[in-house]
Amino acid sequence: MSELDALYQEIILDHYKNPHHAGLRDPFEAEVHHVNPTCGDEVTLRVHVADGLVSDVSYDAVGCSISQASASVMADLVIGKPVDEAMAIHESFLTLMQGKGQVEPDEDVLEDGIAFAGVAKFPARVKCALLSWMAWKDATAQSLETQS
Amino acid sequence: MSELDALYQEIILDHYKNPHHAGLRDPFEAEVHHVNPTCGDEVTLRVHVADGLVSDVSYDAVGCSISQASASVMADLVIGKPVDEAMAIHESFLTLMQGKGQVEPDEDVLEDGIAFAGVAKFPARVKCALLSWMAWKDATAQSLETQS
Amino acid sequence: MKGLLPELEVIRKDFPILERTVSGGLPLIYLDSANTSQKPQVVIDAMVDHLEHHNANIARAMHTLGAESTEAFEAARDKVAAFLGAPSRDEVIFTKNASEALNLIAGTLAWKGPRQVGEGDEVVITEMEHHSNIVPWQLLTERTGATLRWFGLTDDGQLDLADIDTLVTERTKVVAFTWVSNMLGTINPVAELTRRAHEVGAIVVVDASQAAPQLPIDLAAMAPEERPDVVVFTGHKVVGPTGIGVLWGRAGLLGELPPFLGGGEMIETVRMERSTYAPIPHKFEAGTPPITEAIGLGAAVDYLGHLGLAAVRDHEHAITAYALDGLATIPGLRVLGPLDPTRRGGAISFEIDGVHPHDVAQVLDSRGIAVRAGHHCARPAHARFGVQSSTRMSSYLYTTPSEIDALVEALEYTRSYFKLD
Amino acid sequence: MKGLLPELEVIRKDFPILERTVSGGLPLIYLDSANTSQKPQVVIDAMVDHLEHHNANIARAMHTLGAESTEAFEAARDKVAAFLGAPSRDEVIFTKNASEALNLIAGTLAWKGPRQVGEGDEVVITEMEHHSNIVPWQLLTERTGATLRWFGLTDDGQLDLADIDTLVTERTKVVAFTWVSNMLGTINPVAELTRRAHEVGAIVVVDASQAAPQLPIDLAAMAPEERPDVVVFTGHKVVGPTGIGVLWGRAGLLGELPPFLGGGEMIETVRMERSTYAPIPHKFEAGTPPITEAIGLGAAVDYLGHLGLAAVRDHEHAITAYALDGLATIPGLRVLGPLDPTRRGGAISFEIDGVHPHDVAQVLDSRGIAVRAGHHCARPAHARFGVQSSTRMSSYLYTTPSEIDALVEALEYTRSYFKLD
Ligand SMILES: Cc1ncc(COP(=O)(O)O)c(C=O)c1O
Ligand SMILES: Cc1ncc(COP(=O)(O)O)c(C=O)c1O
C-alpha cells in the first residue's frame, strides 16, 4: 500500500463522506471552539456528561477529510462510555498520533480509529486528526467542572 | 613605513601630547557636544565667529590619539580663516578621510592635516579623526544662525 | 513560450535544492515560493564565506575582522538601497522579517511624538492583508483608543475603492496596504492610494513582501506625493535568507518616530537616568543585527538585479498566464482573485469542489509537488470569499512550464483519487 | 596547565576562521569572544545543509520540505530547552537577539494585563548592565510613569547589595540584572537576588548573554523561589549564528503578558475586528522566524553540550587566571573588575596609563590580535569607574595559553611604541 493510501484508508473516506453524530445538539454542559491556526480548520463541539458517562458529543466542523473523519470516529468511540474510559481512549489515540508511525494501534480500544495509524507518518496532518479530540477533552473537563 | 607607523605619524603623536587651543573659552556663539557612540569618545566644542572669520575654536575632548590630535590640527587650521575657506578645508579633510587611502592630500590646504592620510586606510578610525571636525561644522553653522 | 527567462535551465542550476528528490525519488516541483523562495548557491556561499573568514561583530569592533564585517554589512545596506531605488541609504533599516518591520511602525506610533496615534484617530487597512499587516494595527488601535477601518474587496478580488472618500479622511493617520496580495495575487494601485492618503496628511505604509520578489521598484523615481512613506519586505522571499527583513522609511518620518527596541547600537549616550539615540538607520537597529543574514540578502538582491527585475516579472507573467490556462481545464476548480495574468502577481489560490485544500496538497505532495493549503495568513480575505481555506500554487523565477503541466496533471489525478468523476 | 579543554588543538580545527591570517600574514589571535564568538564547521554545515536540501517555511507548509523544515526548527527548540534545562520546551521563544528578548518583556509590560507597570511602580536594574538591559527599562518607565532604580557597584566591581531592602520593595515590579557582566566579568548572585525579588512579588529577568556561553545552566534544578522568571541569551555568543536569540520564560508569566509583535504564526483566529492569539511559544513568534538560524543555534548548543559546559567553564577559568597573571606584569595596567578568576567570567577589561584603549587595540591589531576598545555597551559601568573607555580581552573555548602570551608581549610592545618607558 502506498503511503498515500495508508493515509486515506477507506474507513476515513467513509467517515468523511458520512460523518456520525454531526450537528450541534442539546443538552450539553460545555461548548468549545477549537481552531488549527495553521490552516484555519475549526470545530465547535458540545459535551453532555451524565452520571459519569459521556452521554452525548455533538459538533459542527469545517476541515479536511482527516479532521472530519476523526471527529466522526471520536464521537462513535466516546459516546456512552464512562468518562474515565473515554479519557483512556483519548490517551491511546494521542499516543498513536504522536508515535511517528512506530506505535501499533489496539483495535479493541480504538476500533475504526486504527485507520488513523497512517496519519502518524505525516506530521503536518497529526494536528488535523487531533483537532476534535482536543476539543472533546477540553469540553469534557469543563463539563465536569460545571457539575462539581 | 609600516601601516601602523603611517597611522601614528610623529605629527599626530606630537599634537596628541601637546594639543593646541585646548580648553573651553569665551566668547562663543555656539557650543556643541558630539560623541562617537561606538567607543564613547566625546568632544565639547565652542565656536566664535566674528566679521565672517572663525575667530576662535575652543574644546574639551576625551578620546584616542587620533581624535585628540585631529581636534588640535583642526583648530590650528580654521582659527583666523574666513568661514568659507574654513568650510573648504573641512571639505578637503572629509574627502581625504573618506578616500580609503586613495586620495592624495594637498599640503597647502591641510598643512599638518596631511599626517592623517594614513588614517583613511583604517575605516574604524575615520570616525575618530572626524569627530571634532563634525562638531566644528555643526557649531559653526549654529553660530552663523545665531547671528542672522 | 514568450517572456520566460532566457537560459532557464542554467538559472535552475544555481539552486541546489532543485536537484532534490522527494516522495521516494520524484523530482521536487516547488510551487510554494510566495511562502518562501529557494536560495541560489551564490547567497549560500556569501554567508559561508563570511562565517568562515570574516565573522566579527560590527561597528563596535576595532580590529581587522571587525572592519571587514562592518564593511560587508554596510555594503549590504547599499545593495538593498539600490534594489529599492531608495532616495538615501540611511533610510534602509534591517529588521528580522517583514512582520517586525510593520510592527516597528505600528508600535512606535503608540508613543509620544508628533505622529502619535490616539483616540479619534483612524487607521485604514484592507481586507486582503496578510495577518502581519492586520494584527499590528489592531494592537495599535486597541491600545490607543484609535479606530481601525478597512477597504473591502470586489468580487473579482480588487480593492473596493468606491468608499475611498468616506474611508480616508482628515481623521486618518495611517493607510497601510499590500502592494501585491499573497492570496489573491492582486496588484494594488499604490500611486493612487498614496496620493489620496497624502492629501489628508496620513502616512502610507506599503507591504511589499510579495512585490519585491517580482516587480521592479524604484522609489526615487516616484513622484513624492505618490511615494509611500514606508515600504517593507522580507529577505526569505527574495532568494535571501531567513532572519532578515527590510524597512525603508522616509528619513523625515523616521526622525519623528520614537525608538522601537532599546539597546546596544541604537544609542548615542547612555546614562542611568536617561539616554539619547543615534540617527537613522542605527536608531532602529538595537542589538547585534542579523549580520550574516544581511550579507546573504545583499548577495540575493545582487542576484536578482543581475537577472533584471523586469525580466523576472515577465517570467512570472508568462508562467502565471500558462498556469491560469491550465487550471481552467480542471472541472470544479475556482480561482480566487483576478484572472488577467498581466495585472496580478504569481500566487494563485484556488478551490476544487469536493476536495478539501489539505487533501489536494497531500496528494500533490505524494507526486513531488509542493503547494500551500490553508488560509495563507489571510483569513479575512478567505472569509470575504466564503471559504475556510484554499490551495495556493506560487511560481518564481526558477519555475518551468513543464512544472505547471505536472501540477495540472496531478490535480486531475487528485480528482480521480477522491472519486470525483 | 590544569583545567584546559583536552585536545584543544583538535577543537581549534573545528573553527575554520582560526586558520586565517591578518595584518600581512600573522596568525589571527581572536580575543573578542564576548563581543561575538567564532563558529565551528558543524554549525555552518547544519545551516548549509538546511539551505541546500530542506529549505521551506515552517508550520504553514503542508509538503515534504515544509515538514522537514518544521521538524528541524522545532528540534532546535528542544535542543535549546535541554541546554537551559528548561522546565518546558514551550517556554523557549526564539527572538532575533538578546536585545529583542529583553525588549519583549519590557515592551509587553507597558500594556494592559495583570503585570502592567504604571505610575508608582518601580523597576530595579544595576549599574553594570549592558545597554540592552538598560534602555528597554528606561523606555518602559518613561512611557508608563514608573520609576527606574538601580543597584550601584562596589570598588571591586561587585553589585552593592547593602541597600537591597530599600531598593527592592513592594513597589518593585521587575528586577532585571545580568548573570555575568560583559565588562567587569563579575558573576552575580542570581539565587539570592531572585529570592529577594520573589519575596516582594517582583518578576526577575536575567540577562544570560555572557553566562550562557561559559556556565552550565540548569533551570529545572533551581529551587522555584530562586529560579528567575525570564532568562535571555543570544545565539552569536554561544558559537551560533547571528539573527537569533532566546527568551526562556516561566509559562505562567508568559501567559499573563499581552502579545509583543503581531502577525502570522502568533495568531489563533484573525477577523478584521479582532484577533485571538496562539499559546506559547508561538504567541511571541510573529512572522517567519529565523529558521536557518534556529537550526544553526541547535547545532551550536549541541556542540557545546558535547564538550560539556563544566569543561568549558574550567577552560575559561584556567585561561582567565593565566591572563590575569600576565596582565599584572604590565606596568601601569589596571584591571576593572574582580581579580579572583574563579569568581568571574572570561571578559577582562583594563586600562593602561598613558595609552588610550583605541590606540592599544590598534597596535594589537597590527600584531594580529583582536580585542575590543570602547565602552562595550556598558557606559554607566565605565562612568562608575571614572573611565571613558577600556580595552577588553575575552577568551573562549578555543583560546590557548600561548595566545595570552602573545597578548602580554604585544601590550609590552604597545607601551614601548608609545614611548612609555
Ligand atoms: C551582557 C550582554 N547583554 C546583552 C547583549 C546584547 O546581545 P545582542 O547584541 O546579541 O542583542 C550583550 C552582547 O552584546 C551582552 O554582552
Ligand atoms: C504579503 C505579505 N506580508 C507579510 C508577510 C510576512 O513576512 P514574514 O513572515 O517574513 O515576516 C508575508 C509572508 O509571509 C506576505 O506574503
| CATH number for the domain that contains residue C29 | 3.90.1150.10
Q: How confident is the model at residue C226 (pLDDT cuts 50, 70, 90)?
A: very high
User: What integer pLDDT is reported at residue B122 of this predicted model?
Assistant: 87
Tell me, in angstroms, the distance from the centre of ligand 2 to residue D9's CA: 45
Residue C318 has pLDDT above 90, yes or no: yes
Contacts of A8 in chain C (CB under 8 A): 359, 417
Question: What is the per-residue burial (b if ≥16 Cβ within 10 Å, else e) of D326-361?
Answer: bbeebeebebbbbeebeebbbbbbbbbeebbbbbbb
Topology of domain B3-147 in CATH is Sufe protein. Chain: A (3.90.1010)
How far is C80 from chain D, CA to nearest CA, in Å?
A: 18
Q: Is C292 in the pocket of ligand 2 (CB under 6 A)?
A: no
Chain D stretch 342-401, residues whose beta carbon is closer than 8 A to a beta carbon of chain B: 356-359, 362-363, 366, 373-375, 379, 382, 388-389
Is there a domain that residue C3 lies in? Answer: no
**A79 or C342: which leads in pLDDT:** A79
Tell me if chain B has a CB within 8 Å of the CB of C165.
no
D97 CB less than 6 Å from ligand 1?
A: yes
Asked whether the beta carbons of C95 and C243 are under 8 A apart, the reply is no
Q: What's the rounded Cα separation, in Å, for the pair D151 and D280?
A: 32
Q: How far apart are CA C274 and CA C264, in angstroms?
A: 14
C-alpha cell at D284: 511571541
**What's the predicted TM-score (pTM) here?**
0.96
ipTM of the shown complex: 0.94
**Mutation pick for ligand 2 pocket among C105, C178, C182, C205 (CB with most ligand atoms within 8 Å):** C182
Q: Spell out the residues 6+ positions from residue D354 whose beta carbon is closer than 8 angstroms to its own.
A: D332, D415, D418, D420
Give me the residue from D132, D138, D262 closest to C286, CB to CB.
Answer: D132
D296, D100, D39: which is closest to C242 by C-alpha?
D296
Mean pLDDT of chain D: 97
* Same domain as D319, residue D300: no
Grid cell, residue C415, equals 480528482
**Cα dihedral across residues C321, C323, C329, C331: positive or negative:** negative
Query: Bridge-partner residues for B43, per DSSP?
Result: B34, B61
Distance CA A26, CA A34 (A): 19
- Report the SS3 class of residue D350: strand
> Is residue A148 over pLDDT 80?
no
Q: Say whether both C131 and C223 belong to one domain.
A: yes
C59, pLDDT greater than 80: no
What is the number of domains present in chain D? Answer: 2
Please tell me whether residues D101 and D231 are part of one structural domain.
yes
Select the residue of B3, B4, B39 nearest D358 (Cβ to Cβ): B39
In a domain, C275, yes or no: yes
Q: Taking CB atoms and an 8 Å limit, are B63 and D356 in contact across chains?
A: yes
Find the range with the poorest average confidence among B142-146, C379-383, D179-183: B142-146
> What are the C-alpha distances in Å from A95 to residues A34, A101, A104, D231?
20, 10, 10, 32
Length of chain B in residues, anyone?
148
Q: Tell me whether residues A38 and C389 touch, CB distance under 8 A.
A: no
In one letter, which amino acid is C303?
A: Y
The amino acid that residue C1 corresponds to is M
Ramachandran region, residue C172 (left: φ > 0; alpha: ψ -120 to 50; beta: rest): beta
Indicate the residue of C32, C131, C288 with minimum beta-carbon distance to D263: C131
C193 is known as an active-site residue: no
Give the model's pLDDT for residue B38.
76
Mean pLDDT of D125-132: 98
Q: Do D70 and A124 touch (CB under 8 A)?
A: yes
Mean predicted confidence (pLDDT) in C20-24: 92
User: What is the rounded average pLDDT of the residues C296-320?
Assistant: 98
The predicted-structure confidence for A24-70, as pLDDT tens digits, reads as follows 999 999 999 999 887 778 999 999 999 999 999 999 999 999 999 99
Helix (H), strand (E) counts: chain C: 13, 17
Q: Is residue D3 part of a domain?
A: no
Query: Please, what's the largest Cα pairwise distance for chain B?
Result: 49
pLDDT-based confidence at residue C147 (cuts at 50, 70, 90): very high
Residue B86: predicted pLDDT: 97
Nearest to D61 among C32, C139, C290 (CB): C32
Contact list in B for residue C60 (CB cut-off 8 A) is 38
Domain that holds residue D228: 45-305
Instruction: Answer whether D61 contacts ligand 2 (Cβ < 6 A).
Output: no
| pLDDT score at C173 | 98
Both C49 and C185 in a single domain?
yes
The cell for B33 is 557636544
For residue D409, what pLDDT is reported? 98
pLDDT for B37 equals 80
The DSSP string of D265-326 is TSEEEE-SS-EEEPPTTGGG--SS--HHHHHHHHHHHHHHHHH-HHHHHHHHHHHHHHHHHH
Ligand 2 pocket member C32 (CB < 6 A)? no
What pLDDT is recorded for position D104?
98
What pLDDT does A123 receive?
A: 83
D59 and A123 within 8 Å at the Cβ level: the answer is no
Which residue among D66, D67, D269 places its CB closest to the CB of A35? D269
D99 to C263: CB separation less than 8 angstroms, yes or no: yes
Please compute Rg for chain B using Cα positions. 14
Measured torsion, CA atoms of residues D322, D2, D36, D370, in degrees rounded to the nearest 10: 40
Q: Evaluate whether chains B and D are touching (3 or more beta carbon pairs less than 8 Å apart).
A: yes
Q: Where are the beta strands (DSSP E) in D179-297?
A: 203-207, 230-234, 245-249, 267-270, 275-277
CB contact under 8 A, A41 and C362: no
Q: Does C55 touch chain D (CB under 8 A)?
A: yes
Q: Which of C377, C393, C404, C406 is catalytic?
A: C377
Residue C61 pLDDT exceeds 80 = no
Amino acid at D55: N
Q: Quick check: is D141 in a domain?
A: yes
Active site residues of D: 377
Closest CA to B68 of D378, D415, D418, D382: D418
Asked if D16 and D98 sit in the same domain, the reply is no
Q: Is D264 in the pocket of ligand 2 (CB under 6 A)?
A: yes
Q: Which chains does chain C touch, 3 or more C-beta pairs < 8 A? A: A, B, D
Nearest-CA neighbor of B39 among B63, B19, B69? B63
User: Which atom of ligand 2 is found nearest the CA of C98?
Assistant: 11
The pLDDT, as a whole number, for residue A1 is 74
B26 to B31, B45, B57, B134, D213: CA distances (angstroms): 11, 11, 10, 21, 52
Does residue C76 sit in the same domain as residue C190? yes
What CATH number did the domain enclosing D85 receive? 3.40.640.10
The confidence score (pLDDT) of residue A37 equals 80
pLDDT in tens, B123-140: 889 999 999 999 999 999
The pLDDT, as a whole number, for residue D404 is 98
Instruction: For chain C, give the percent of residues with pLDDT over 90.
Output: 97
User: Does the pLDDT at position B10 exceed 90?
Assistant: yes
Residue D60 has pLDDT above 80, yes or no: no
| C294 and C317 in a common domain | no
User: Measured at the alpha carbon of residue C263, what is the angle toward residues C257 and C268, in degrees to the nearest 5?
Assistant: 70
Reduced to 3 states (helix: H, G, I; strand: E, B; else coil), residue C88 is coil
Domain for residue C375, yes or no?
yes
CA-CA distance, D34 to D238, in Å (whole number)? Answer: 10
Kindly give the interhelix angle for C291-307 and C309-328, rounded to the nearest 10 degrees: 80
Same domain, D290 and D361: no
Q: Say if residues B115 and B95 touch (Cβ distance below 8 Å).
A: no
Q: What is the mean pLDDT of chain C?
A: 97
Question: Is residue D177 helix, strand or coil?
Answer: strand
Distance CA C366, CA C173 (A): 49
Ligand closest to Cα of C214 equals 2
Tell me: do D34 and D137 sit in the same domain. Answer: no
* Gyration radius of chain C's alpha carbons: 22
| Angle C130-D72-D307 from CA coordinates, rounded to 5° | 135
Amino acid A83 reads: V
Cross-strand bridge partners of residue A90? none
Domain map (residue ranges) of chain A: 3-147
Q: Do chains D and C touch (3 or more CB pairs under 8 A)?
A: yes
Residue C129 clears pLDDT 90, i.e. is over it:
yes
pLDDT in tens, D350-397: 999 999 999 999 999 999 999 999 999 999 999 999 999 999 999 999
The percent of chain C in helix, strand and coil, each rounded to the nearest 5, is 45, 20, 40
What is the residue-wise DSSP string for C355-396? B-HHHHHHHHHHTTEE-EEE-TT-HHHHHHTT-S-EEEEE--
Structure confidence by residue, pLDDT tens digits, A65-121: 999 999 999 999 999 999 999 999 999 999 999 998 899 999 999 999 999 999 998
Chain centre distance of CA C2: 27
Distance from CA of D117 to the nearest CA of C (A): 15
Is the separation of the CB atoms in C132 and C99 below 8 Å? yes
C263 part of contact set with chain B, CB < 8 Å: no
Measured distance CA(A8)–CA(C56) in Å, rounded: 52
- Which residue of C187, C236, C377, C394 sits with most ligand 2 atoms within 8 Å of its CB, as the best mutation to test the pocket? C377
Given C276, C305, C334, the domain boundary residue is C305
Q: What is the pLDDT of residues B64-108, one digit of tens each?
A: 999 999 999 999 999 999 999 999 999 999 999 999 889 999 999
- Tens of pLDDT, residue by residue over C155-173, are 999 999 999 999 999 999 9
CB-neighbour burial class of residue D31 (10 A; exposed 0-12, middle 13-18, buried 19+): buried
Q: Is C130 helix (H, G, I), strand (E, B) or coil?
A: coil
Among all residues of chain D, which has the CA nearest to that of B13?
D418
| Count of CB pairs separated by less than 8 Å, B with D | 47
